[in-house]
Amino acid sequence: MKKQNLRSMAAQAVEQVIEQGQSLSNVLPPLQQKVSDKDKALLQELCFGVLRTLSQLEWLINKLMSRPMTGKQRTVHYLIMVGFYQLLHTRIPPHAALAETVEGAVAIKRPQLKGLINGVLRQFQRQQEELLAEFAQSETRFLHPDWLLKRLKKAWPQQWQNIAEANNQRPPMWLRVNRNHHSRDAWLALLEEAGMSGFTHDAYPDAVRLASPAPVHALPGFDEGWITVQDASAQGCMTWLEPKNGEQILDLCAAPGGKTTHILEVAPQASVMAVDVDEQRLSRVYDNLKRLGMKAQVKQGDGRKPAEWCGETQFDRILLDAPCSATGVIRRHPDIKWLRRDRDIKELAQLQSDILDAIWPHLKPGGTLVYATCSILPEENSQQIAAFLKRTPDAALRDTGTPESPGQQNLPGAEEGDGFFYAKLIKK
């Protein structure tokens, strides 16, 4: 395998996210194919880290360079960011970080700029203390775009700083124990035997948080389907859905299939239909079902047009994990901060509302619909459900909040799950 320059690859990946609006989860995997297993993790660390701390790195460049790099030199701008990130946030020895970053200029065919890159990074090393002290006083220190901070302050006047801080952390690794194979405690004992340790969750009976993240294949029984990687808050959907054997259940907006398989773990004899609009992401649903040895009816379809994919069918239970801003999972996907725009929130709220109205007739009388998002913004959550209850006379809220303040909102926390919202609705 030809030795690649990881720093230049990271710079190009970040450039595609910021300049072209591409998602990191689309950009990174093809790049990781080109490097050794050992380097995959470092490449991921550099890309995620730069996007997590982007505002700080941008601020430093503005301080240390008299004019921005534009046009064809733009990749160098991001290469310098990769250099700053290593010096600030990793244990890579500074001389190695510098040498590899400067060499990155050759990989992107800009060898004439090696001196410039070297100069900026060395100047940063000399002024690091005073620069960081100044940054700590700046408006930019929360590492979020202004529009998002404004929304967080308005929605969560007491908690917004904690939320921003949680968003900037590395996420914990949560697992779901497959209760058809082991109880959670029995699997935890196997984990201890393998020399690792984990913690349970008070509210979600299948959830285990690893003391430190580990490769999945090192975990007892991953390949046999004993566990699934899934955030604790995402597992919370089952607490409200309560699927039963023999029922017809719809998992709408189902990709990548974590919740589909959770339904089948809780109710193995349920008949489950998993629907998603994104054909590509549906392949992940098939993969998950296959690994766990489960069967579900998987369909590609638009949630606003259920008649096209389920005809007149009515379901006992519907889980609608609605398309949303994903503002509750920023720590897992730091590119969200830079890909989302303020105007997206209104458009997403309209889409959620359209899907809710379209799918409600497909719920049997007496049936349960759980509306869930991985957002922490009221427009997509409590306000969305309050408006739905007002216009839908046969819908009642159950066990999750009050009609004035509907739903249950989880906020991201270091030892908790991601930001997540649930509302349990019953058809009268």
Query: Does 302 carry a binding-site annotation?
Result: yes
Backbone angles phi, psi at 333, to 5 degrees: -135, 75
Separation between Cα atoms, residue 312 and residue 294, nearest integer Å: 26
Query: Does 307 carry a binding-site annotation?
Result: no
Strand residue runs (E) in 157-203:
174-177, 198-200
pLDDT of residue 1: 47
Query: Does 195 carry a binding-site annotation?
Result: no
Q: Is 237 considered catalytic here? A: no
Query: Does 394 carry a binding-site annotation?
Result: no
Q: Are 359 and 352 in contact (CB under 8 A)?
A: no
pLDDT of residue 68: 85
Q: Averaged in consecutive runs of 10 residues, what is the pLDDT profile of the chain (428 residues)?
A: 84 97 96 93 97 98 92 95 98 97 96 97 98 96 97 98 96 97 97 97 97 95 97 98 98 98 98 97 96 97 98 98 98 98 98 98 98 98 98 98 96 94 98
**H and E: helices and strands count for the chain:** 17, 12
Q: How far from 300 is each of 278, 309, 320, CA to CA, in Å?
A: 7, 8, 15
Separation between Cα atoms, residue 272 and residue 267, nearest integer Å: 10
- Which residues fall within 8 angstroms of residue 270, CB to CB, at 6 or more apart? 243, 244, 245, 246, 247, 248, 249, 263, 264
Left if phi > 0, otherwise alpha if psi is -120 to 50, otherwise beta: which for 165? Answer: alpha
Query: Does 10 carry a binding-site annotation?
Result: no
Q: Which residues pair with 200 in a beta bridge?
A: 208
Query: Does 278 carry a binding-site annotation?
Result: no
Query: Does 365 carry a binding-site annotation?
Result: no
Q: How many residues does the chain have?
A: 428
- The catalytically annotated residue of 47, 237, 310, 374 is 374
Separation between Cα atoms, residue 242 and residue 238, nearest integer Å: 6
Separation between Cα atoms, residue 184 and residue 201, nearest integer Å: 10
